[in-house]
Structure 1
Amino acid sequence: MAAVRGTLLKHLRVNATPLPLLRNPKTFPNGLFNLTFNAVRCFSDVVMGSFLDKSEVTDRVVSVVKNFQKVDPSKVIPNAHFQKDLGLDSLDTVEVVMALEEEFGFEIPDNEAEKISTINHAVEFIASHPQAK
């Protein structure tokens, strides 16, 4: 069995040569630098940045909170605190978080849900979450 595996792997191997580390972008062949740079930039946006547009997330979060029964829609602003500004208790806050989960199509872990006490906290968490839709 090991001989068969060795023979199979020998035929499946592909020789690859690494690209030399070039410090000067002008020495990259045929725009490879731009392709590489754009790929790295996109990757860093995914790793470091947000996944959804924050203004869109803000609008959707504000809409969800405004539609919550116990909230006065005129008091809902992006930096509103759920308890202090909107008068919600801890159970109401849990219900708001559940409504946000339904709106954005993913489950917020309990340890993170406990940290969400303002609309801005919700926006920051949702905008940076890879599963938010």
Structure 2
Amino acid sequence: MMSLTKAQIEEKVKNVVCNQLQVDASEVKADSLFVDDLGADSLDLTELAVAFEDEFDIEIPEADFGQLSTVAGVVDYIQGRLS
């Protein structure tokens, strides 16, 4: 199990979001909404979930990921799963 600080998790989450959604890091804020602010569609969201699973070596049930709409939400969720 990885031991990461919240800041490290946030950095990794933002990197994944930038890579998956092809957005500039300056656009990705803690309260950024994947769909409304960053232009993600349903396929992007699925790919994001898989990328987060790979990055953090966890499984994210589809029902859980459906509830996660912001960068901060994903950071908190992953932090909870890793602790």
TM-score by length of 2: 0.85
Contact 2:17 2:23 in 1 (8 A): no
Selected match of 2:41 from 89, 104, 109: 89
Partner of 1:71: 22
Q: TM-score, normalised by structure 1?
A: 0.55
Which runs of at least 4 in structure 1 moved beyond 3 Å after TM superposition? Answer: none
The amino acid of 1:114's aligned partner reads: G
Give the alignment's Cα RMSD to 1 decimal. Answer: 1.6
Question: How big is each residue's C-alpha offset from its partner over 1:5-61, in whole Å with a ceiling of 9 and x where there is no partner?
Answer: xxxxxxxxxxxxxxxxxxxxxxxxxxxxxxxxxxxxxxxxxxxxxx64111100110
Specify which of 44, 55, 58 is matched with residue 106 of structure 1: 58
CA offset digits 1:33-91 (Å, max 9, x no partner) = xxxxxxxxxxxxxxxxxx641111001100111112x3321311221100010011122
Q: Which residue of 2 aligns with 1:118?
A: 70
Match of residue 53 from structure 1: 5
Alignment gaps of 5+ in structure 1: 1-50
Name the residue aligned to 1:34. none
Question: Percent of pairs identical after alignment?
Answer: 35
Structure 2 residues without counterparts, runs of 5 or longer? none
Bigger relative CO (Cα 8 Å, ≥ 6 apart): 2
Q: Which structure is larger by alpha-carbon Rg, 1 or 2?
A: 1
- The aligned residue for residue 81 of structure 2 is 129
Q: Is the 8 A contact 1:93 1:117 kept in 2?
A: no
